[in-house]
Each structure stands twice: as C-alpha cells, then as structure tokens.
Chains A and B, each alone.
Chain A
Amino acid sequence: MRYLRAALAGLILLAVPLVAQQAPESGTPVQDLLQTHADQIAKSSRRTIQPVIDALVASGLPQIETVLATWQAREIWQRESDGLFFAATETDNSLFELTDFDTGEPIGAFPRDGLAQVKPNSGVQGLIATALVQFQLNSPDPAQRRQALDSLARAPDATLLAPLRASIEPETDPDIRARKQRLATLLTIAHDSNEAARIAAIAEVSGDLSVDVRATLNPLLSTHRTFAAADAPLAGDQNVARTLVPGRDIPVTEAYALLVAAGDAPALVSEGAIREALAVNIAEGRVGGVPIAALSDPEARNRAYDALAAAGAVPPRVDTAERDASLAAHRFYDVYDEPSAALTDAAQQALGSIETRVGINQALDLGLDALSLASIYFLAAIGLAITFGVMGVINMAHGEFIMMGAYTGYVVQQVIPDYTVSILVALPLAFAVTFAAGVAMERLVIRHLYHRPLETLLATFGISIALQQIAKNIFGTQARPLTSPGWLDGAWVLNDVVSISYIRIAIFVLALIFLTLFLFIMRHTRLGLETRAVTQNPRMAASMGINPDRVNMLSFGLGSGIAGVAGVAIGLYAKVTSELGQDYIVQSFMTVVVGGVGNIWGTLLGATMIGSLQKGIEWLNPSNTLAAQTYMIVFIIIFIQFRPRGIIALRGRAAGD
C-alpha cells in the first residue's frame, strides 16, 4: 500500500509539471485540462473522445476519478458565460448547485438558464467506464470493485492489465481477490507482452471448464488460409497450423479462389458468366459461329465461348487441367494469426485438456437431460401402467386426462394468486377431478366393453376427441400459462456445462414419489390386492367376495387421477393447450409396451430407455428434435420385433396366454 501511494505520488509529481506547462499561472489544473479539450467534451463522439479520456487519465490528477464518474453520470454542466465545467446537482426551483472540480468546494447555486449539460452518449459512457475501471479497482467500496471487475470481464482491455495486477496485492476481500487473480490470468493470456508469462498463465487455466477461459484461448488459435509457391520455402515468421491438400482438406474451388484472389491465377469463368458473355455477343442469330437454338447444350455453349475467346472478345476459359496445374504449383496452409509457436502449442494443449473435460461433463449433462425426460414420460405413463398395464384397458383419453389436470392447475391459479399455495391446492384437486372423470368414464363406457380392447380403444378415442374439443371451446386454442412458484425458478448449476432446472428435479422427485405410491398401493393395500385378483381372474375374485365392478371403478379412477397430477407437473414446464395430452399419448403407450405390460419396473425401464434414446439421438443431430422422435419410434418398432412382450415380460399365467 505504501509503495502504491509512493508510486502514485511520483506519478502526480511527474505529471504536474506537464500540466503546469499548459497553464503556468493557474491554480486550477483540472479545469485547465478540461478547457483544453472543451470542444470535444461538450460535443463528444465515440470516435474522437478516446484521446481526451487518455489525456485526462495521463494527467494523474487525483480529481480525475471524480471528473470521469461525474461525466459518465451526465452530471457535468458547462457554464455558458465563461465555458467552465462544473459538477452540478439540481436543487429546488430548478437551481443547480455547482461544484468546482479542483477544490471540490461548492461555488453556489445557478439557474438552469445559463448552464448547458454535457451529455455523453452511451458509446462515450462505455469508454469512460473502461477508463474508470482502474480507479474503481482500488475503490474502498467492495460493490464498486465488483462492478469494475464485471465491466473488465465484459470488455477486456490490454491497458488495464497493469492496474489490475497492482490492485491484487492490496485487496482484502478474498472473494474479490480471487476474481481479480483469475481475471488477471485471462488478461495475461490475451494481452501480456511477455510470452513466458502468457504460457504460464495458459498452463494455469488448463482444464478449466468456464466459458470465459475458452473464449480467451480460442482467439489465440484463430487461423487464416494462405498459400505459397510449391518450390519456395516458407516465410520464416509464419506459425503454420497445418498444411492443406486441395481436394482433401480444402475444397478445390476454395483453394483456387485463394489463388485468384491473390491475382496468381486467372479467374474461373462461371456458367452464369459464360451465358452473359454469349448473350452480349449475339450476332445475326449466331454466337461465335454457333446458332442460338443449339445453345441449350452446355457443350455448344463452351464451343461458342471458346470461339469468342479466340477472337479476343472475352477472357479465355480456365479448364480443369489448367486449374489443377496452378493448384499443384502451390502449397496451401492454415497459418495462426499468433506468430509464436510456443504460445499456440500451449493454447492447443490447454484447450485439448479442456475439451476432454467438457466432453465428460456434456455426457453428464446429457445423462441428466435424459433422466429428466425419462421422468416426464414415466409420469405421463404411470397412470397407464394401472389402467392399461394392470387392468388391460386401453384408454386413449388418458392424454386428455393429463390435459384436464393441467387445466385444473391453470384454473386454480386464476382463483388463488399465490403460486405456491395454488400448486399445493391444484395437485389434490387435479387428482379429484380426473379421478371423477375416470370413474364416470369407466361406469358409462368401459364397463360395457371389457374384453373388447379394440372397441375400447375406439370408444375412448371418441371421448378423447370430444374432450379435446370441449377444452378448446372453453379455454380457446391459445396456450395457457401454468406458472411455477418462485422457488422452482432457476437451475441447479454445477459448472458452466452441467446444469438442470429445479422444475425438472421436482418432476423427477414427483416421479419417484408416484413410483413408491404405486408400489405401496399395489402391494400393501386392500385395493391393490383386489385389483390384482380381479385382473387375474374376475370370476374367482367375485366368488371370494370381491366386488369386481367396484374394484375396476376404483383402480381406473386411481390411474386417471394420477394422470391428472402428472398433468399439473407437465403443465409447469410445457404450455397448457388442448393438444397437450395428444403429444404424450403415443409415447406413453410406447413406454408401457416397451417396458412390458403389467410391470411397473418395466414401465420405469421403458421410460428410461425412451428418454435416453431420444436425448441420445437429439445429441447426434441437435438441430432436429423431430428427427429424434421419428428415429426413436422406428427404433421402438424394431425393438418390439425382438422383445414383443417388452423389456420385462410376464411369464406363466399372468401373461394371459
């Protein structure tokens, strides 16, 4: 700290005579400096202001920080009578309290009439902000220091490296200190003049996953294409990244275009150019001796053009042999913009190790994505695992039950504005609504169609069509928002590569809860026992005193109710529309069928498989999620060839055949 002060004092001592020369008699160095650049300051533009800012900073006057800060805040006003600049704050009655920069003392209030505000535009403000950073780095206020680091990270500037380094030593806040060191390292890599220091800094960040490290290293490896005559030796100062063979590493046309651009080879005559040249040179129905009507043949066109070229009317064509000869006479390279090979090698190595780690983390991220997609499919399918898997009833309106659940959540949010409370209300309410709908459907329709699965399929499809249209009529076709509570916003960020949003974690947890619930009900409750009994042999179950009608009704209602709860969860991250359920129905059935009907673990495996497959295919072709779905379905169709009864196939009597 003491050294710094001494250095600062030295700077000031050095600078003062400089200023003094400009205004020998005055006791107001800051005002004089400002007056020197008065015109540029009063009417500043981004292109011309940098020298002025530099001059201000170079003066080393202690007041400069205040001047810059005031200027940036648009609080400098110019007194029109004498053109002097002051910091001004508005007091009552549109009076402005002026403060002199040199003394820091107020000089009194003036009316607005005689004052003109200095208004730097945002570009100029940005430049001032950069200049201010070096002052702010040592500001006593930690918030200011953080802000300075933020702006430095946004716009790294070579000139700020020295002030930044100087500010690390006196830093007291360990957090800010770490940031400063890191930023200094990155700035060293990008801008230091000392190569050894840069290489050391690169080694330091090797394996770092942050995006800014990669953003710093990548420009070091930027290349440009160039070429040299085949027999000429390479220019000594060129840092060659790799040699390019035309046709293998670089398209032939592109390589030739390089030669043409440098003027080392004649330009290829394109087909369009040939046509235009021919059109210009038509004479008496013929071009170059070829009748016009024959020119629909490319060969004839070439003949005509060659004739024109022989006559000297147009530049000659370059044929393939000539082009290849010119290419063979040259070597092509990618050359690093950075001349130092040691530096590019170090950067390459560091990036290589970073890429590996990024790859591993991306795989992890993909795994998390797949898991979350799997839990969504599982949630959508778990109701089906009861109605279809256990009871064997095909309910094509299952998707519409999901939709009903989502709309229930939406309606509850309209009534209860608090998102947390409304979700807590919506979950049981959605269960109740869809439970009732399921029971009604079972009583009215499905009861008549037990043992007629195809008719059930079609009848429930009829219901699905009707329900969708009813939802459309009530809620309209536009998507309705189902907003998640604030504590579910945001994401759990592990590093710059791996992150997962809290909603997806919540859905995963919900899926786990439902899995447990399902297992508990099926294994440890009376309803579960009776359901299994009725499914396996309704007559025998009835003769044991179980009422099959009641059991079917209840278990169908349970499956439907779970679909409703799933709807609330799905609605939280997808838009709620009347087609919400339709988007899930085929995948849900696929999940159950692939997993193996009648086994909840199978459904879980099926969901996992479908989720990871879809994410995996998306990863191979990220631009196209439709293709991922297509290939996934095709894969499932093929999969069913080999395991027609799903991953976990029931054996023996329970299999039903």
Chain B
Amino acid sequence: MTRSFFARHPSVLVFIACLAFFTLLVTILSEGLGIGVISTSFVKTLGKTLCLCLVAIAMDLVWGYAGILSLGHMAFFGLGGYMIGMWLMYERTRDIVVTSLADVEIPPTPQEISDAIGNQIFGVVGSSDFPAVWAFAPSLPAQLALVVLVPGLLALVFGWLAFRSRVTGVYLSILTQAMTLALALYLFQNDSGLRGNNGLSGLQNLPGADTIPQSLISLWFLWGSALALGLGYLLLAWVVSGKFGSVIRGIRDDEARVRFLGYSVEGYKLFVFVLTAVIAGIAGALYYPQAGIINPAELAPIASVYLAVWVAIGGRGRLYGAVIGAAFVSLVSTWFTSGQVPPVDLGFYTINWVDWWQVVLGLSFVLVTIYAPKGIAGLFDLAAGRFPPRRHGAALGPDDGALREKEAEE
C-alpha cells in the first residue's frame, strides 16, 4: 500500500528528500554543529519559514483542495503560538522567581511563588492575579494538548455554525476574516488575560535550558519544524490522494452535485477545516518559540490574507506549490524589508525597497492572480510539458472556489 502510494505520487518522495537534504545542509553550515557559515538568526529564519510552509500546506488543503478561502488560518496559527507561549513564559518566570526566592530566610510557600510569578507576568497590564485561562500553564502536556485543542475547537464551533447555515464563497471568507478580527481585538484587551498588546515575550528561552546556547536550540527547532513539515506533508498528501481527496475536490468545484450524490458535504468541509486549523496551531506552536515574541498584531486579518497570497503565488491546489510560495515569498520579504537590497536611484527619486516592497508584493500578487493562476508551481508543468485542459474558458465547476481553466491539470 505504502509503496503504491509513493509510486503514484513521486512528488512526495522528491519533497521529503529535498526537505531532508535542506535540513542536513543547514545543520552542516550552522554555527551550532557545523562550520558556521549560516548565522544563528538565519537558522531561526529558516526554521520559521518551515513553520510557515506547514501552515501554507494546511491553507492549500482548505483553499486549493476544498475551495474554502479561509481568512482565519493565521488566527489558528497565532492561537497555537499563544498556547505554547503560556507554558514557556510561565516556566521561565517560575525559574527566575524560584532562583530569586532561594536566598530568602524563610522558604516560600507555593502561594507566594505563584503570586510572584503572577506579578512578574502581569505587572505590565497592572494586575498580578492569574486569569482563568492560565489554569493549565504550569503543565507542559496540558498546554501541548491545548495547542491542538484550542484551534481545533474554535474551528469546530465556527465551522459547524458556518457550514451548517451554508455560508459559502466570499461570505465565508468575510466571516472568517471577521472571526480573526474579533479574536485579535479580544486579545488586544488587557483583561483578556494574555497581557493585551504586550503579548507574550521571551519565548526563545527554553526553561531549564539556560546552559544550552541559542545556536543549538535554533537547530533543534529547525529539525522539529522540518519533521513537522515532513509529517504534515505526508499526512495531507495521503488525505488528498484517495477517495477523500476526490470528494473534497468535487466539493470545491461543484458542491451541489457532490451533495446530490449523497455525500455529507458539511461533514467533509468541517473535517478539512478543523484538521487544517489543528495543523496551523501546531505550526504556530513551533514558530513562536523561534520568533521569541507573540502579540495580537500577529493575528490581524492581514496576516491571513498574506497566507492566501503565499499559496496563490506558489500555486494552489498542489501541496508543493504552497510550500514553494510560502518559502519564496516570506524569504524574499525578509530580504527586502531587512534593508539589504540596494536602493534603486531613478535620478528624480530613490526607490528604497524597505518602503516599496509591499507595493511590489501587492501588485505582483494581482498579476499572478490574473495572468498566472498556477503560480510558481506552473513552471514545473511548463517544464514537464503538461498543459491545462481545453474547456473554452469555463472553470471546473460553478462554485466560487472552483479551479479555473488555467489552473486545472489534465
């Protein structure tokens, strides 16, 4: 069975091989274990990019395969980050507090320790009590479970409400965007219990790992992210390969027909929505310890739009396209916004790329959407000599999310 799966989908093997090679290469070139060509901060950037690739393939499943343009998956990503961030911040603060209280003549009671931690964490929002949402923060297994459960449950409730009342197409997109906005606004409040707009910080410091240099920790996270991406890719490739994949592609192109064939369209959509939300949460939980800080601005609706942009530029409807898009756009963005690109002097005006990159990105996205719906992945088709079917300009189906003629594969 497994052999036939890989035989039928050689791209999966190629991808896994590329990923393994990339990870090995970075490890060899890193400061932590290798010859030190790549700085630790760049290793972190690469690790973060792998997490973005992971959330991008989740987005590709939900949009490219199931035709649901969700503008809320970066919210699930951020929630995953918040969940792991709570444990990281709690444990780290506890370490500090216990160390500082060790010199006191009378050993502290558990209550005193907890108060001191609360004071440290919530001092910035003028409080010192632990809100109810931090109930599980002391326990790593509980918070790891929450990384999966919180985005999963939110997606389940939201998806159930939305799909049940047959909200589709742009309405669903706007609704998911509203959900993201509501979540971000909620987290911006100081009394949400997650430190308001300060967010959670100091996440790059692993509790109990003070003696281990960041160069090594960054590699651990790189491996973890690569592993998660590899497993996620395998899982999603398997999900979209079988009958299940055919059904969700059918839902994408013509939902009504699939429903009339007797499939529970809502069930399939809900499954895809929740599964991808969970993957997004896991990706976030791996991303934010590498970023070091998370705040509500990360959940802003625009972040989810960028996610869609990556998938679209990479080429939706194929998993490797999403990976390429996310990696390419986010790395190029980092490069342009870091100010390393030399400015272009036009004589009358100097184009400073830090200021103009967003404009280029926005416009190139428009161009891709109109003229190259297959995105970067379309180049592979061009190389392989595969061409879209001739459908006289008609899309694959009547639904909003259906693949366009130019996007389709024969």
Contacts and interface: CB of A to CB of B under 8 A. Distances in A.
Interface of A: 275, 278-279, 282, 287, 292-293, 295-298, 301, 394, 445, 448-449, 452-455, 457-459, 461-470, 472-473, 582, 586, 589-590, 593, 624, 626-627, 629-630, 633-634, 636-638, 640-642, 644
Interface in B289-343: 301-302, 305, 308-309, 312
A462 B108 contact: no
Nearest to B179: A637
A636 B178 contact: yes
B105 A445 contact: no
Contacts of A582: 302
B369 interface: yes
B186 A454 contact: no
Contacts of B191: 624
Contacts, number: 152
Interface string B158-186: 10010011110111011101110110011
Contact of A469 (B69, B308, B362, B370): B362
B182 A593 contact: no
Contacts of B363: 462-463, 466
B182 A464 contact: no
Contact of A640 (B165, B188, B369): B165
Interface centre among A453, A464, A633 (most CB of B within 10 A): A633
B161 A454 contact: no
B297 to A, nearest CB: 12
A63 B44 CA distance: 86
A640 B178 CA distance: 12
Given A454-B173, A462-B366, 9 more contacts: A279-B104, A449-B369, A457-B173, A458-B365, A459-B369, A465-B362, A473-B355, A593-B174, A637-B182
Given A298-B111, A465-B362, A453 B170 contact: yes
B312 A458 contact: yes
23 contacts: A282-B105, A293-B107, A394-B170, A449-B370, A457-B170, A458-B69, A458-B305, A459-B366, A459-B370, A461-B365, A462-B364, A462-B369, A463-B363, A465-B302, A465-B361, A465-B362, A468-B358, A469-B355, A473-B356, A593-B171, A633-B178, A637-B182, A640-B165
Given A445-B366, A463-B366, A453 B169 contact: yes
A626 B296 CA distance: 13
A296 B107 contact: yes
B191 to A, nearest CB: 7
Given A454-B170, A464-B362, A301 B109 contact: yes
A275 B115 CA distance: 15
B401 interface: yes
Nearest to B186: A630
A455 B169 contact: no
B364 to A, nearest CB: 8
B106 interface: yes
A278 B105 CA distance: 9
Interface centre among A275, A296, A467 (most CB of B within 10 A): A296
A226 B146 CA distance: 51
Main secondary structure of the interface of A (DSSP, over half): helix
Interface of B: 69, 104-111, 158, 161, 164-167, 169-171, 173-175, 177-179, 181-182, 185-186, 188-189, 191, 301-302, 305, 308-309, 312, 355-356, 358-359, 361-366, 369-370, 373, 395, 400-401, 404
Given A462-B363, A644-B165, A454 B400 contact: yes
Contacts of A636: 178
B107 A295 contact: yes
Interface centre among B164, B186, B369 (most CB of A within 10 A): B369
A454 B370 contact: no
B403 to A, nearest CB: 11
Contacts of A593: 171, 174
A454 B401 contact: yes
Nearest to A299: B109
A589 B173 CA distance: 11
A604 B69 CA distance: 28
Contact of A637 (B161, B185, B369): B161
A462 B362 contact: yes
A292 B106 contact: yes
